[in-house]
């Protein structure tokens, strides 16, 4: 049942799932977790404790040099950390409800989680991509993917909030996403699983005949206006991670694909039979032209676009019904297959845009393709064959080189901008550093344990900062104080400023970090919004001054327009609410100052609290079930009189003649 392969004399047995491996046989298990018993103090690659400490020390009151945005995996959020300290600065909820600030619970934010499948309070967030200008991170936005119910989201880095979510139609899982082109023209998404497109009720055994993949090009350079510009229909394989080209290759994107065997059962064996699968090299300029020239067909598609309106601060939902679809035949010369050993997982492009590095995954080499050779091979028509209109280039014709014996399970590669590449090896649990052009390995360090992605600040751009590499690990084991069966996830920071990588720091992360990005703090600091301008608040239930506050009834619905300002609510006592009413507390925070949110909670509310930023209005829904007098209070400590910031709501029986006052 397991795949066998050899490296040196060791034969291993592996099964893979969700894009990474779990070693199953004893030998492989030893390799996978071989460092589990090494005491931290003897960690190879670690430098003297005081040396390391001084390199990650950020004095009290001082700021970190980089922001790091690490995906939270199955928590559906993004964790924001400072580097080099590893301090957690914020959690940004994107695809998951977050009680801490009411995201996905308040009436204004609930629609952000709306999909054509209904309101989904969770997803699996794997990858991040910072917006770019001329191939460099510009600090405006962070894009992230939802793996399970295909979506991409934009996080606005002036507010550190999710500002937009777009569902991806015609997709069977959105793992290979989001990737960004060098001027943020497009955010890219591939379908992880091929499915019937458009969806249909067909036997699964018709996989090879009826299942297709799509690559989606999401227009992303206008905030609030994300949409699928066009999709490219591709053969029924599994499509995965990608990078856009840079410099000379900036019009191209490179997606890995596997399961060219088109297996639909026992994938762990059947999808790994072929010696090579492919990297799909796609010219998005060509596709763009084809779409403009009317070569795309409009296909029915059902998907949603959710946007946080800038002035009402309320999410708006738009349902879309069709999408433009191109194929390799309707848009020739737009896609080529590059044969790549053994179910490639990651595809990464070096800062010059010349080298395309594949995570050979089950391969014993790291294959590197050359963009120059690729163009020549296209000119020379050095094709091995053609699959559904897609020319397959000859491996030898496009290969720049192979990194030999890198270790086991090469996954992802980042670059330091100084001519070196760093590849994560999941099974042998290490990072190897190798030289672009000569392909020789110059250093390796163990990671604790079972690294997935790795990340260098700016490592995906034309100008990596090249100071640190962060290992994003799958297994934590003994690195921290134990916390029952579930241990915290973990990242590790290595100094890469010298010839040898040096382990500086372990830091726990929130959720499972798959990928992340780090960026010079200055690029983001200067864009920060400190509060929302009350005068610009266009929420229909806003209270711009205490005298505008009040209560009103519309049948069984009671609206409470409430002002919050240090240190009271207005109104603070409300009477005349009846059992079974739907009470909507529209709380406006009247403060116009940085870092003064107010919270709001009422006993028995089955959603959560609110956290209301200065100048903003947020609404909590409450349906009292029993008569009584219920306290409400501010949940976010705001002043010395914070404890006094409270009030009561009196709930009377249905039909009571207590007048509504407040």
What is the contact surface with ligand K7E in residues (CB under 6 A)? 19-20, 126-127, 175, 241, 345, 411, 452-453, 514-515
Which of 151/175 has CB closer to ligand K7E? 175
CB 176, min distance to ligand K7E, A = 8
Nearer to ligand K7E, 19 or 150 (CB): 19
CB of 283 to ligand K7E, least distance (A): 24
Q: Kindly tell me which of 358 and 602 has the beta carbon lying closer to ligand K7E.
A: 358
How far apart (Å, rounded) are the C-alpha atoms in residues 370 and 397? 9
The residue (of 246 and 361) whose beta carbon lies closer to ligand K7E is 361
Residue number with CB closer to ligand K7E (175 or 250): 175
Residue carrying the six token digits 């080298």: 355
Distance between CA 276 and CA 266 in Å, rounded? 19
For ligand K7E, which is the closer residue by CB, 479 or 514? 514
DSSP, collapsed to helix, strand or coil, labels residue 337 as: strand
Q: Which residue is nearest to ligand K7E (CB)?
A: 452
Least Cβ distance, residue 125 to ligand K7E (angstroms): 9
User: DSSP letters along 82-94, please?
Assistant: EETT--EEEEEES
> For residues 18 and 639, which CB has a smaller minimum distance to ligand K7E in the complex?
18
Nearer to ligand K7E, 126 or 324 (CB): 126
Residue closer to ligand K7E, measured from CB, 391 or 452: 452
Beta carbon of residue 71, minimum distance to ligand K7E (angstroms, whole number)? 8
Q: Which is nearer to ligand K7E, 411 or 649 (CB)?
A: 411
Coil vs helix vs strand at 31: helix
| CB 175, min distance to ligand K7E, A | 6
Sign of the CA dihedral running 342, 418, 513, 516: negative
Closest distance between ligand K7E and the C-beta of residue 217, in Å?
20
- C-beta closer to ligand K7E: residue 96 or 314: 96
Token readout for 509 is: 């992360």
Task: Write down the number of H helices and E strands in the chain.
Answer: 8, 48
Residue 436 neighbours by CB distance under 10 Å:
21
Measured distance CA(74)–CA(95) in Å, rounded: 10
CB of 96 to ligand K7E, least distance (A): 17
**Shortest Å, Cβ 506 to ligand K7E:** 18
What would the two tokens of residue 476 be? Answer: 């934590």
**Smallest distance from the beta carbon of 522 to ligand K7E, in angstroms?**
28
Tokens, residue 477: 């084991």
Alpha-carbon span 234 to 239, nearest angstrom: 9
CB 575 within 8 A of CB 658: yes
Closest Cα partner for 549 from 533, 536, 535, 565? 565
β-pairing, 186-190 with 179-180? Answer: antiparallel
SS3 10: strand
If the CB atoms of residues 178 and 597 are measured against ligand K7E, the closer one turns out to be 178
**Cα 176 to Cα 127: distance, rounded to the nearest angstrom:** 8
Closer CB to ligand K7E, 470 or 560, in the complex? 470
Give how far Cα 636 sits from Cα of 87, 171, 614, Å: 22, 41, 12
For the CA atoms of 182, 183, 184, 189, the dihedral, rounded to the nearest 10 degrees, stands at -40
In angstroms, give the least distance from the CB of 660 to ligand K7E. 52
Count other C-beta atoms under 10 Å from residue 274's C-beta.
Answer: 17
Which tokens sit at 620?
């909590």
Beta strand segments in 327-467, E: 335-341, 347-349, 355-358, 365-370, 383-387, 390-393, 399-404, 410-415, 420-425, 430-435, 441-446, 451-455
Q: How far apart are CA 404 and CA 416, in angstroms?
A: 20
How far does Cα 61 stand from its chain's mean position? 30
Q: What is the length of the chain?
A: 662
CA quadruple 336, 337, 339, 342: dihedral, nearest 10: 150
Closer of 255 and 569 to ligand K7E (Cβ)? 255
Minimum CB separation of residue 238 from ligand K7E in Å reads 13
Report, in Å, the least distance between residue 518 CB and ligand K7E: 16
Whether the CB-CB separation of 647 and 571 falls below 8 Å is answered with yes
Pairing of strands 315-326, 227-234: parallel
Location of structure tokens 């934009």: 154
Nearer Cβ to ligand K7E (392/451)? 451
**Residue 190 beta carbon to ligand K7E: minimum distance, rounded to whole angstroms:** 12
Question: Rounded to 5 degrees, what are φ and ψ at 578?
Answer: -120, 155
18 closest CA partner among 256, 240, 276, 237: 240
User: At its nearest, how many Å lie between ligand K7E and the CB of residue 447?
Assistant: 12
| Adjacent-strand bridge partners of 507 | 491
Instruction: Give the Cα separation of 367 and 348 in Å (integer).
Output: 11
Distance CA 513, CA 509 (A): 7
Residue 267 Cβ vs ligand K7E, minimum distance, rounded to whole Å: 16
The SS3 of residue 74 is coil
């Amino acid at each position: 049942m397991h795949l066998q392969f050899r490296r040196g004399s060791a034969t291993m047995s592996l099964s893979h799932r969700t894009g990474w491996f779990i070693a199953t046989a004893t030998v492989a298990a030893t390799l996978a977790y071989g460092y589990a018993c090494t005491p931290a103090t003897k960690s190879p690659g670690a430098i003297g404790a005081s040396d390391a400490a001084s390199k990650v020390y950020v004095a009290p009151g001082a700021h970190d040099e980089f922001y790091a945005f690490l995906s939270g995996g199955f928590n559906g959020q993004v964790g924001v950390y400072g580097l080099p300290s590893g301090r957690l600065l914020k959690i940004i909820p994107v695809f998951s409800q977050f009680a801490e600030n009411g995201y996905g619970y308040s009436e204004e934010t609930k629609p952000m989680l709306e999909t054509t499948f209904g309101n989904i309070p969770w997803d699996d967030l794997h990858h991040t991509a910072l917006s770019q200008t001329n191939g460099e991170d510009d600090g405006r936005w962070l894009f992230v993917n939802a793996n399970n119910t295909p979506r991409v989201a934009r996080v606005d880095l002036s507010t550190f909030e999710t500002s937009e979510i777009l569902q991806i139609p015609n997709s069977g899982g959105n793992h290979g996403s989001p990737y960004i082109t060098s001027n943020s023209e497009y955010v890219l998404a591939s379908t992880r699983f091929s499915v019937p497109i458009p969806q249909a009720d067909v036997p699964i055994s018709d996989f090879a005949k009826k299942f297709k993949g799509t690559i989606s090009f999401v227009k992303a350079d206008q905030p609030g206006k994300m949409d699928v510009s066009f999709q490219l229909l591709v053969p029924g394989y599994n499509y995965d991670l990608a990078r856009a080209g840079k410099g000379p290759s900036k019009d191209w994107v490179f997606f890995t694909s596997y399961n060219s065997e088109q297996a639909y059962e026992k994938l762990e064996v059947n999808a790994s039979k072929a010696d090579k699968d492919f990297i799909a090299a796609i010219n998005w300029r060509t596709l763009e032209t084809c779409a403009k020239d009317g070569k795309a067909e409009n296909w029915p598609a059902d998907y949603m676009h959710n946007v946080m309106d800038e002035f009402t601060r309320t999410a708006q939902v738009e349902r879309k019904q069709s999408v433009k679809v191109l194929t390799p035949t309707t848009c020739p010369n737009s896609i080529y297959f590059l044969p790549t050993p053994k179910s490639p997982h990651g595809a990464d492009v070096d800062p010059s845009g010349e080298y395309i590095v594949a995570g050979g995954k089950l391969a014993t080499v790291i294959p590197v393709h050359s963009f120059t050779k690729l163009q020549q091979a296209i000119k020379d028509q050095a094709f091995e064959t053609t699959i559904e209109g897609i020319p397959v280039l000859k491996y030898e014709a496009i290969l720049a080189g192979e990194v030999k014996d890198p270790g086991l399970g090469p996954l992802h590669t980042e670059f330091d901008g100084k001519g070196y590449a760093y590849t994560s090896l999941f099974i042998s649990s290490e990072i190897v550093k190798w030289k672009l052009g000569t392909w020789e390995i110059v250093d390796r360090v163990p990671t604790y344990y079972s690294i997935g992605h790795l990340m260098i600040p700016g490592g995906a751009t034309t100008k990596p900062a090249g100071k640190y590499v962060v290992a994003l690990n799958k297994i934590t084991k003994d690195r921290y104080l134990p916390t029952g069966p579930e241990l915290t996830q973990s990242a590790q920071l290595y100094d890469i400023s010298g010839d040898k990588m040096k382990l500086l720091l372990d830091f726990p992360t929130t959720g499972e970090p798959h990928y992340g990005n780090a960026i010079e703090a200055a690029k983001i600091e200067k864009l920060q919004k400190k509060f929302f301008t009350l005068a610009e608040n266009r929420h229909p239930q806003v209270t711009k001054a205490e005298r505008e506050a009040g209560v009103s009834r519309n049948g069984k619905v009671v609206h409470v327009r409430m002002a919050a300002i240090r240190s009271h609510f207005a109104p603070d006592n409300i009477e005349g609410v009846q059992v079974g009413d739907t009470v909507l507390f529209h709380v406006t925070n009247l403060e116009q100052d940085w870092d003064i949110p107010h919270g709001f909670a009422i006993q028995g509310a089955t959603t959560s609290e609110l956290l209301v930023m200065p100048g903003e209005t947020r609404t909590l829904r409450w349906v009292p079930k029993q008569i009584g007098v219920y306290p409400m209070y501010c949940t976010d400590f705001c002043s010395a009189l914070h404890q006094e910031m409270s009030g009561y709501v009196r709930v009377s029986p249905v039909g009571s003649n207590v007048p509504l006052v407040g």
